[in-house]
């Protein structure tokens, strides 16, 4: 059986003092919890703090982005080897905000996915459609295109060492949430698409849902057969809310 994974994406939030309180609360709340995975993806300046706080716990940590380049004259960028220096396990790749705000296209996302895997990091590949795309009925075409960019370059086996996060862009930070049935339909489409290339990879692939997950809706969302946890934005900054979501994943 696939083990559910709940990963917090702090986005561009945090500070040393508030991070300390948040991490301590999450560590305490997750003590003894088994049967699910938990991680936090923090801003680059706080990777050392996350490493120091979480290194003796079952909670993993990671980054929110990386460069597709190994090193060189790329001012402001951070490489996969730098992330490894801070003990990262995960890195987000192709988050909708990176695609929409910073213009990362499918080809760039595939290169970043490749760079992460070459270094031994586990990429969390984010896919999803905008409100306009959903209303135009092209959700599956958009998600398929985003997946194909990676599998077309690296082969479907690359997903056996990755996580996919389905994030309907229209439900991120808006308070809107895809219904459990809407989310499940896309998760099932993703799994069936991968299964058409490799049933083994599809059966083992952890597919998270990301889009205004809260403690109040996590149990119902995570109860869907193809939803394997969540990529959590704003709620990951509230220890009790994040813990409620994590505990929902172990049911």
Provide the annotated active-site residues.
95, 167
- Residue 54 burial by Cβ neighbours in a 10 Å radius (0-12, 13-18, 19+): buried
Query: If you count DSSP H runs as helices and E runs as strands, how many of each does the chain have, helices first?
Result: 11, 8
H-run or E-run covering 5 = strand 4-9
Residue 51 contacts residue 61 (beta carbons within 8 Å): yes
- Bridge partner residues of 212 (DSSP): none
Question: How many residues belong to the chain?
Answer: 251
- Listed in sequence order, the residues at least 6 apart from 228 whose beta carbon sits closer than 8 Å to its beta carbon are 2, 3, 4, 5, 206, 207, 208
């Amino acid at each position: 059986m696939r083990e559910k994974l709940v990963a917090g994406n702090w986005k561009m939030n945090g500070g040393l003092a508030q991070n300390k309180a948040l991490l301590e609360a999450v560590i305490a709340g997750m003590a003894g919890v088994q049967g699910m995975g938990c991680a936090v993806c923090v801003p680059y300046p706080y990777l050392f703090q996350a490493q120091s706080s979480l290194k003796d716990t079952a909670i993993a940590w990671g980054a929110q982005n990386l460069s597709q380049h190994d090193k060189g004259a790329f001012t402001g960028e951070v490489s996969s080897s730098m992330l490894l220096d801070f003990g990262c396990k995960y890195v987000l790749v192709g988050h909708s905000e990176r695609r929409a705000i910073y213009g990362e296209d499918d080809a760039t996302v595939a290169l970043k996915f490749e760079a992460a895997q070459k270094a031994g990091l586990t990429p969390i590949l984010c896919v999803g459609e905008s409100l306009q795309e959903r209303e135009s009925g092209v959700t599956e075409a958009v998600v398929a295109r985003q997946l194909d960019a990676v599998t077309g370059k690296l082969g479907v086996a690359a997903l056996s060492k990755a996580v996919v996060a389905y994030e309907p862009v229209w439900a991120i930070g808006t308070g809107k949430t895809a219904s459990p049935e809407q989310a499940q339909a896309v998760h099932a489409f993703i799994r069936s698409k991968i299964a058409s290339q490799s049933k083994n990879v599809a059966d083992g692939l952890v597919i998270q849902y990301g889009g205004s997950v809260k403690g109040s809706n996590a149990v119902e969302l995570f109860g869907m057969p193809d939803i394997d946890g969540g990529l959590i934005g704003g709620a990951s900054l509230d220890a009790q809310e994040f813990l409620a979501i994590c505990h929902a994943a172990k049911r």
